[in-house]
Each structure stands twice: as C-alpha cells, then as structure tokens.
Amino acid sequence: MSVLKKLSLGLVPLMLFGLFPVLLSAQDAMGSQAMSLTGCLKQGANTGDYYLMAGGKMYEVMAGKGVSFAEHVGHTVTLAGHTVKLSAADEAKKEASEKSEAGSSPYADFQVTNLKHVSETCSQ
C-alpha cells in the first residue's frame, strides 16, 4: 500500500472525529430555534411552575430576564422563546408534575424571552 493511501486512511477518521462536536452543536442549535406560542397560561402543580398548551403540546414555561407570569395566569398570552433540554437531574424533579399537567399530550420545556398579553380570558 502506498504512503499516500495509508496517510489518507489515517486522516479521514481523524477529520470525522474532529468534526463530530461541531456537528452536535449545530444540531443542538437547530433544536432550540426561536419560536412563539399562543395559548392559555396556567399555574402548575408546584408553586412557581407555569405551563401553556399550544398546538396539542404542553409547554412547561420558564421565565427569562424581565418576564413575570403570575399576573397573567388564566389569560391568553403569546410567549416568545425557545425549547430547552434540562439536565437529567432537573428533568427528574419536574417529570411527575409535567406528566400530570400534560395528561396524554406530549410536553416540552420552554425558555421565555418575551410575553405579550392577548386577552384577559382563555377559550380553553
């Protein structure tokens, strides 16, 4: 086998392994694209927990800087933000309440960057 072939056979796997973290971070960034949700903001089972049903999915919402949910419970709101993946430990703490709030609906965690009040009432 020529030296060039040996060299290329050694470099290709190295390049793939070197690019792997870049590909993973690009995938993570795609999964957390900015989006908005509109629905009825509800108080969660635990103090300080809030959720919103939108598009057949339940979102456990977490307030970002300058966002407050308490005065909007029971109101229709539009939330801007992105989905987040919590650590395994944090997810384990929230899992039971998320399942009870979501019922049979799928659920996700959502970091809110902006809240817009739509209506004092909810249609749900």
Domain boundaries, given as residue ranges, for the chain: 1-31, 35-119
CATH of 35-119, one of 3.20.20.140, 3.30.540.10, 2.40.50.140, 2.40.50.100: 2.40.50.140
Most confident of 18-22, 63-67, 80-84: 80-84
Q: Give this prediction's pTM.
A: 0.66
Type and span of the H or E element at 99: helix 88-102
In three-state secondary structure terms, 34 is coil
What is the pLDDT of the chain when averaged over all its residues?
78
For residues 43 and 49, is the Cβ–Cβ distance under 8 A?
yes
